[in-house]
Structure 1
Amino acid sequence: MSWLGAPLAWALLALLGLAVAKEENQMETCCGPIVPRREWNALPSRCTKKLSLPVNYVVVSHTAGSHCDTPALCRQQAQNVQHYHAQTLDWCDVAYNFLIGEDGLVYEGRGWDLMGDHASLWNNKAIGITFMGNFMERSPAPRALRAARSLLACGVALNALTPDYELKGHRDVQQTLSPGDRLYDIIREWPHYRL
C-alpha cells in the first residue's frame, strides 16, 4: 500500500463506521415492514374520528378466524376481516389499527391516528393490534410476535404511543376470550403489560 493509500483506507473505514453506526441508530427508531393499505387492496376507509396522540394504551386481540403464514394468505385474510367489518357490520373500516400476520408482517388497518372499533370504551384511548388467527390452543409464530414488538417500539419512536404505555389483552377490557389463551399468556410477559 502506498503512503497515500493507508490514510485513504483509514478515512474510508472511518466513514463506513460512521455510516454503520448511523444506520444502527436509525434501525432502533425505525418501523419494521408495514404493509400499507393499498398493497393489501383495502377498501377506502369512511372513518373520520381521530385519536389524540400519543395514546397511553394498546389493546391486543386476535381475529379468532383463519390464520395466515404467507403474504398472499395474509393479504387475503386482511381483506376478509375488513369485508366483514365494513360490509357485514357496516363499520367505517376494519376495526383495528394494525393486523399482524404469521408471515411476520404488519398490515396497516386504520393506522396510528384514526380511532378503531376494537374494544368498546377503550377505542378513543388505545391503539388496537390484532393477530390474524385463533390463538386459544396455539401460539402465534415467533416472527409474528417479533413484528408486534417492533410495531410497539415504532409507535413510541413516532410519538403515537407514550413511552410508558400500558399493554392490555382484549379480555382485560371487555368480556371476550380474545386474544386467545396462548397469546394472552405470551403478552402478559411483555414489559408494558398491565392488568
Structure 2
Amino acid sequence: MNIIEKTYKWNGKLSNRKSTNRIILHHAESKSCTADDIHSWHLANGWAGIGYHFFVRKDGTIYRGRPENVIGSHAKGSNSDSIGICFEGSYMTETMGQTQINAGRELVAYLKKKYGISKVQKHKDVCSTNCPGTNFPFDAIVNGTVATAPAPAATKPSQSTSSNSRPTGTYEVTASDLSVRTGPGTNYRRKTHNELTKDGQKHDKDKDGCLERGTRVTVYEWKNGWARTPSGWLSGDYLRKV
C-alpha cells in the first residue's frame, strides 16, 4: 500500500494522541476535491488544518493528512483516541466505485493491524450528522474483501475500439487531480512529475504527478478500465470521450 506524503502549513501547534482505540470514517461531501482543498476548508474553519489523518481519492490514491500520531479534528468529542479517514465523494447521492472501496479496505485493515484495534465507526455513530452518507459502503470497506474493479461495459465495435471495448482517441480528464500510474491499476505506483511527457507536465502545475481537470489526452488502449496515454495509465472512471 502506497501512502502519499503531503506537506501542509499548520495554523498553530498539533498535540500528540495518547491512545488509538478506533477508526472513524467520513466522506468529503464533495464529488471532487483534493487533500489540499480540505486543508484550505479546515483552515477557513479556524482549525490547525486538515482534520483527517488520511484522504482516499476516487482513483484509489491515499494521501496523508494530519500526522498519524497527533489528535485529529474530524469528530467532535471523539478525536482524542481515534484516527479519521475521509473519502472523496458525496455518498448521500453518489455510489462509491470499487477502486476506492479497495483502497479504503486496504487502509482500514492496515491500521487495524498496526494498532491492534477492531473498532471502526461512521462519523454519524458519534456525532449528529449524516456523514458518511446513506450510500457509503461501510461493510464492504470494514468487513469485505478487496475485489477487482469490473471492466467497462461493452460498446459497439469500431475501427477505433480496443480489445477492452472502449474506443481509443481523445478524452478529457474530469477529476480535479488525476493520478498517472505506471500500469493499469492502483497497485502500480504513481508517476512523478518528471516522468510525464512535456505536455503532461504542463497540465501538472502542482508537480505531484497528477493531471488537472480539463486536460485532453490520447488513449491508445484500454485494460481493465484503465487507459494507456502518452504520459502513463489513467483510471477510465475520470475520462470523458471528446
User: Quick check: TM above 0.5?
Assistant: yes
Normalised by the size of structure 2, how large is the TM-score? 0.55
Which deviations, in whole Å up to 9, do the C-alpha atoms of 1:110-149 show, x marking residues without a partner? 1321111100111001100011120112222211111111
Equivalence for 2:24: 59
Match of 1:20 in 2: none
SS of the equivalent of 2:84 reads: strand
Q: 2:122 is matched with which residue?
A: 169
Is the 1:47–1:93 Cα contact (8 Å) retained in structure 2? no
CA distance in 2 between partners of 1:57 and 1:178 (Å): 17
Q: Residue 169 of structure 1 aligns to which amino acid in structure 2?
A: K
Does residue 153 of structure 1 match 2:96?
no
Which residue identity is paired with 2:45? Answer: L
Aligned length: 143
- Indicate the residue corresponding to 1:79 in structure 2: 36
Considering only aligned residues, what root-mean-square deviation do their CA atoms show, in Å? 1.9
* Gap runs ≥5 in structure 2: 145-242
Q: Which has the higher helix share?
A: 1
1:50 is matched with which residue? 16
Tell me if the contact between 1:136 and 1:180 (Cα under 8 Å) persists in the aligned partners: yes
Structure with the larger RCO, 1 or 2 (CA within 8 Å, 6+ apart): 1
Long gaps (5+) in structure 1 = 1-31, 69-76
Determine if contact 1:47/1:114 at 8 Å carries over to the other structure. Answer: no
Q: Flag the 1:56–1:93 CA change in 2: closer, same or farther, 3 A.
A: same
Q: Which residue of 1 aligns with 2:240?
A: none
Alignment of 1:8-157 (within 5 A): 32-38=1-7, 42-44=8-10, 46-53=12-19, 55-67=20-32, 77-86=34-43, 88-157=44-113
- Secondary structure of the 1:139 match is coil
Q: Which has the higher strand share?
A: 2
Whole-angstrom CA distance in 2 between matches of 1:79 and 1:134: 17
Distance in 2 between residues matched to 1:45 and 1:92, nearest whole Å: 4
Identity %: 24
Moved over 6 A (4+): none
Identify if the C-alpha distance between structure 1 residues 142 and 45 changes in structure 2 by more than 3 Å, giving closer, same or farther: farther
Q: CA deviation at 1:188?
A: 3.6
Taking structure 1 as the reference length, the TM-score comes to 0.67
* SS of residue paired to 1:121: coil
**Partner amino acid, structure 2, of 1:131:** F
